[in-house]
Amino acid sequence: MSMAPTHAPSAQHIAFIMDGNGRWAKKRLLPRAAGHAKGAAQVRQIIEACAERNVRYVTLYAFSTENWARPSDEVSALMSLFLKYLQSEVRTMRDNGIRLRVFGDRTAFSDEIQAAIALAESSTAGNDRLHLSVAANYGGRAEMIQAVQTWMAANPDATPHDFDERAIEAHLYTTDVPPPDLLIRTGGECRISNFLLWQTAYTELYFTDTLWPEFGAKSLDKALAWFATRERRFGKTSEQVSEASNPQKITSAQA
Ligand code: FPP
């Protein structure tokens, strides 16, 4: 008698570091902004592919707190792409069950971008098929500091022992979002770059040389196939994990 198959759970939440837009453009002798424009078009494809594969949460690293230091023409190209994306995609998102949220300190953006963010968030707030979070002017360390500050302000009489993991989690942008199962970074670098530092404690990390503008549905499937081979132990032993995921396991003595 064959053993019941243990189905590796699929990724419920995928986080993406979309790197390599500049190099994609350079290879084609195009300005870096053209790489970002292609990257933005790729975002649409990947969201669609994720929705088709029943991924419920997608988080994209669109602009880090450090990206302000880039040449000003590149920063403004990224800002106008972000605005264009918010304006042009809001209806599609609303009509396709996608809830959009922006993680990060939005007060640094222009009034026009802040208004577009507010409109996109409010008009998609009732959606539940796919939760898309765009990290913009986001930094993982800043997010944690802000969470601690908010908690301390709300609990002025607390002692150090009152502070725990739940206290932080309650004040992160991701408070009602499960931690990422899979983090995909394109563009060949193997680092986290201050993205979702708290949330990626047990995330499977996938690094690929593929540049973001070339990362399509096929590349996503390759990453998901790799994810399916991972055994997620969350600090436990391999034996404990396989017992828990397959409690009715038929041993050869019983079979
Ligand atoms: C990294 O590539 C990418 C960024 C800093 C920006 C990512 C932005 C987009 C994909 C477009 C806008 C996003 C949305 C949600 C509309 P890089 O410039 O560091 O590439 P390089 O390492 O090859 O120079």
Q: Which amino acid appears at position 246 of this protein?
A: N
pLDDT, position 169: 97
Asked whether the predicted pLDDT for residue 254 surpasses 60, the reply is no
pLDDT at 129: 97
How many Å apart are CA 244 and CA 255, to the nearest integer? Answer: 20
pLDDT value at 245 more than 70: no
CB of 196 shorter than 6 A to ligand 1 = no
Q: What is the pTM of this model?
A: 0.90
pLDDT at position 250 over 50: no
Residue, of 125 and 2, whose pLDDT is higher: 125
Q: How far away, in angstroms, is 20 Cα from ligand 1 center?
A: 7
User: Which whole number is the average pLDDT over 99-127?
Assistant: 97
| pLDDT at res. 242 | 76
Better pLDDT: 235 or 176 = 176
Provide the pLDDT for residue 3: 41
Nearest CA to ligand 1 atom 18: 22
pLDDT at 249 over 50: no
Closest atom of ligand 1 relative to the 61 alpha carbon: 7
Domains parsed from the chain with CATH numbers: 13-254 (3.40.1180.10)
Q: Let me know if 221 is a catalytic residue.
A: no
Q: Which residues of 227-246 are buried (b: 16+ CB within 10 A; e: fewer)?
A: beeeeeeeeeeeeebeeeee
For the Cβ of 102 lying below 6 angstroms from any atom of ligand 1, the answer is no
Residue 137 Cβ < 6 Å to ligand 1: no
Whole-number average pLDDT of the chain: 92
In total, the chain counts a number of residues equal to 255
Closest C-alpha residue for ligand 1 atom 6:
62
Q: Is 136 in the pocket of ligand 1 (CB under 6 A)?
A: no
228 Cα–ligand 1 center, Å = 27
Region 150-158: what's the mean pLDDT?
96
Which atom number of ligand 1 is nearest to the Cα of residue 85?
16
pLDDT in tens, 43-99: 999 999 999 999 999 999 999 999 999 999 999 999 999 999 999 999 999 999 999
- Measured in Å, residue 85 CA sits from the centre of ligand 1 at 13
Among residues 203, 198, 207, 195, the alpha carbon closest in space to that of 134 is found at: 195
Q: Which of 54, 67, 164, 246 is catalytic?
A: 67
Catalytic-residue membership of 67: yes
pLDDT given for residue 8 in this prediction: 57
